[in-house]
Amino acid sequence: MSQPVRPELRYCADHEWINSESPARVGISAVASDALGEVVFVDLPEVGAEVEAGEPCGELESTKSVSDLVSPVTGTVVAVNEAVVDEPGTINKDPYGEGWLFTVEVAQEGELLSAEEYASRFDAEVTGA
């Protein structure tokens, strides 16, 4: 079964998504959360940290592996989702909602894919829900 991709979001090839709000919210796609398996530990950038597009800014640890969290944009982190630090499994349950990771004041975007481009690259399906 292919994983859902939200049409209103943009994605980087490393599976992070970003919305178009300001500050922008960042998370990982359902494709990534499915591939990772059960997320058991989250290391997020700190509020005030500078993140750089395409560069690691944290880690997600699952029962299968540890993966770098790569920032889709360059900017300053303005909030982190403490709820996913306390309950990492939220990322698996709701990667596009309650499982968001951090928000960032965007200075510059990295290479971002549309939902359609991301879905076709990773055998996923663009859905509205």
Q: Walk along the chain (129 residues) in steps of 10 and give the mean pLDDT of each run.
A: 90 97 97 95 98 98 95 98 97 97 97 97 86
Write down the pLDDT at residue 67: 96
Residue 124 lies in a domain: no
Alpha helices, DSSP H only, in the chain? 30-36, 82-86, 90-93, 115-121
How far apart, in whole angstroms, are the C-alpha atoms of residue 51 and residue 5?
24
Q: Is residue 78 part of a domain?
A: yes
Domain-embedded: residue 125: no
Q: Can you give the pLDDT at residue 54?
A: 97
What was the pLDDT predicted at 2?
Answer: 78
- The range of the structural domain enclosing residue 94 comes to 4-119
**Amino acid in the structure at residue 10:** R
Q: Is residue 12 part of a domain?
A: yes
- Does some domain include residue 84? yes
> What CATH number should be reported for the domain holding residue 41?
2.40.50.100
Number of domains in the chain: 1
Give the CA dihedral 84, 29, 112, 126, nearest 10 degrees. Answer: -140
Quick check: is 75 in a domain?
yes
Residue 88 lies in a domain: yes
Does a structural domain hold residue 19? yes
